[in-house]
């Protein structure tokens, strides 16, 4: 069985979470992790499970404007590093090109550690677009948290790994969960 984890990431947090979700899926799936620019319709169609995630910007999925603002923020904070795939297309562009798919799927995001009513959740918009394109969403959207300086909170990598294992189980496969961070 094949799983595809697709991510959009600006500062590497969503990329890291995608890698940890893949770790949780690996006992049950042959997993490919790729940036949104590399997630072709053919690669998606060849998968039994597609997990899609991106950062929360301005209460939802990123836009060209919010992605530019994230790049501009690098000049103000020398602790941030641009993810190697950040300057490619975003999830909105990907959804515009992906076409209809009938594959099991799940959605995740990264967002600031605050109530969702204040931050929004990109994962809800991702799940909605997955359904619109014919994907069968098998789990509620999940958020992984960063601090106000855009660094993953302690424990989030382990939680992502556990969520990946849960997705494998929901997809009808047995998986091993890990308590390692």
User: pTM here?
Assistant: 0.91
Q: Check the CA dihedral 131-123-178-2 and report its sign.
A: positive
* Direct distance between the N- and C-terminal alpha carbons of the chain, in angstroms, rounded to an integer: 26
Q: Hey, what domains does the chain have and what are their CATH numbers?
A: 2-170 (3.40.50.360)
Q: How far apart are CA 134 and CA 128, in angstroms?
A: 10
pLDDT for res 174: 37
Check if the beta carbon of residue 148 is closer than 8 Å to that of residue 53: no
pLDDT for res 173: 47
pLDDT for res 51: 98
Q: What is the pLDDT of residues 106-151, one digit of tens each?
A: 999 999 999 999 999 999 999 999 999 999 999 999 999 999 989 9
Among residues 114, 122, 143, 128, the alpha carbon closest in space to that of 21 is found at 143
Task: Mark the ranges of the chain whose per-residue pLDDT is less than 70.
Answer: 173-181
pLDDT for res 176: 35
Per-residue exposure over 50-78, b if at least 16 CB sit within 10 Å of its own CB, e if not: bbbbbbbbeebbbeeebbeebeeeeeeee
pLDDT for res 86: 84
pLDDT for res 101: 94
């Amino acid at each position: 069985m094949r799983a595809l984890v697709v991510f959009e990431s600006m500062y590497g947090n969503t990329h890291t979470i995608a890698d940890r979700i893949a770790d949780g899926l690996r006992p049950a799936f042959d997993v490919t992790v790729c940036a949104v620019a590399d997630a072709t319709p053919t690669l998606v169609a060849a998968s039994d499970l597609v997990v899609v995630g991106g950062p929360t910007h301005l209460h939802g999925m990123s836009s060209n404007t919010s992605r530019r603002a994230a790049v501009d923020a690098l000049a103000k904070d020398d602790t941030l590093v641009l993810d190697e795939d950040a300057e490619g297309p975003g999830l909105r562009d990907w959804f515009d090109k992906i076409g209809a798919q009938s594959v099991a799927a799940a959605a995740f995001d990264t967002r600031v550690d605050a109530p969702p009513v204040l931050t929004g959740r990109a994962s809800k918009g991702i799940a909605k677009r997955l359904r619109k394109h014919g994907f069968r969403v098998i789990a509620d959207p999940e958020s992984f948290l960063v601090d106000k300086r855009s660094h993953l909170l302690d424990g989030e990598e382990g939680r992502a790994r556990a969520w990946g294992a849960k997705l494998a189980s929901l997809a009808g496969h047995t998986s091993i969960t890990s308590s390692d961070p």
